[in-house]
Amino acid sequence: MFEQPKVCVLPVAGYSTRNLPATKAIHKGFLTLDNLPIIQYAINQCKEIGIEEVVFVYNNDVSKKVFENYFSRNYALEKSLKEKGKVDILQRLQAVIPDGMKFSFVEQKEPKGSGHAVLMAK
């Protein structure tokens, strides 16, 4: 029997050339499917199987900021939605960050592939 992993490494570096031209301006993880960024589906599945921490391996500060901003709370926006009675939108916004899940970030300074990215998380 094996121990359930608690950490998931998600390599999010790379230029996503297969998705150009969209990925020239939008990180591939934030392309949407049914109004959710693709990365959110991965995070939701991680939570469902008991992952407690997700480590994003990024390739530049722009990517890091996009992920940090998305996976952190925006208290001013939450307050505004609450004041306007937009409870359904507020709940969807708060669901972006699953309860108890931690996010970490590691830089892959040069493109050496996904295997290298996973080793960077170590």
pLDDT digits (tens, 9 = 90+) for 22-76: 888 888 899 999 989 999 999 999 999 999 999 998 887 778 889 999 999 999 9
How much is the pTM?
0.82
What share of the chain in percent tops pLDDT 90? 56
Torsion-angle region of residue 113: left (phi > 0), alpha (psi -120 to 50) or beta?
left
Question: In terms of Cα–Cα distance, which of 105, 103, 82 is closest to 93?
Answer: 82
pLDDT reported for residue 40: 96
With beta carbons less than 8 A apart as the criterion, state whether 54 and 10 touch. Answer: yes
